[in-house]
Amino acid sequence: MHKKLTYIAFIMLLANCTQSQNKAPQAEVNNPTIKKTEISRTDLVKFAKTYIGTKYHHAGVDPATGFDCSGFVYFVFNNFGIKLPRGSGEYKSLGKSLKPEEFKVGDVLVFYGYKDKTQIGHVGIICEADGMKSRFIHSTSGKAYGITISELDSEMYTSRFYKCIDVIH
C-alpha cells in the first residue's frame, strides 16, 4: 500500500511539472484575456535581438534557415503567444495607426514595398521608440541580408513608411 501511494504521488508530481512546463499562452491578437502587463515589451525586443545576424531567407520562419521580414515578426510575437499575420500584405488592415508620439518598443512598423510603393511589402519591430526617429529590428533582403537594426528616419524607410501599430495592447 505504501509503495502504491508513493507511486501515485510521484505520478501526480510528474504530471504537474509537465503541465507547468508546457503552459505557453496562445492568444489571438484581439484576445481580451491577454493583458499587456503579461507581455514585457522589453523582453520581446531582447528576444528579437538574439537573432541579429540570422540570414535572410525568402518565406522563412525558422532561425535555422533564416527569416523574411514577416516571418521574423511572426516568429517573435508567436514566441510570446501573439498570433500575427504571416504575410506583410496582411498588416495593411491590421490595427489602428499610431501617431509618432505614441510609438512604443514592441510596436510593429508597416512599410510599402521597396519596388512597389502601392502595396505593403515590409514589417519590423520598434526596438528604440522615438517617434519618426525610432529604431527597429527586422529581416531585410537588402545590404545587411538578414536580421538587423535600422533607423526609421533613414531615406530608405521614411519614404516607404505606411503606419505603426500596437499589437500587444
Per-residue model confidence (pLDDT) at position 37: 52
Backbone angles phi, psi at 114, to 5 degrees: -65, -45
The pTM (predicted TM-score) of the whole model is: 0.79
Please say whether the beta carbons of 77 and 148 come within 8 A. no
Task: Give the model confidence (pLDDT) of 46-88 as tens digits.
Answer: 999 999 999 999 999 999 999 999 999 999 999 999 999 999 9
List alpha helices for the chain, DSSP H: 2-22, 41-49, 69-79, 155-158
Please say whether the beta carbons of 126 and 104 come within 8 A. yes
Is 27-165 CATH 3.90.1720.10? yes
> In the predicted model, is pLDDT for residue 35 greater than 80?
no
Question: By three-state DSSP, how is residue 29 classified?
Answer: coil
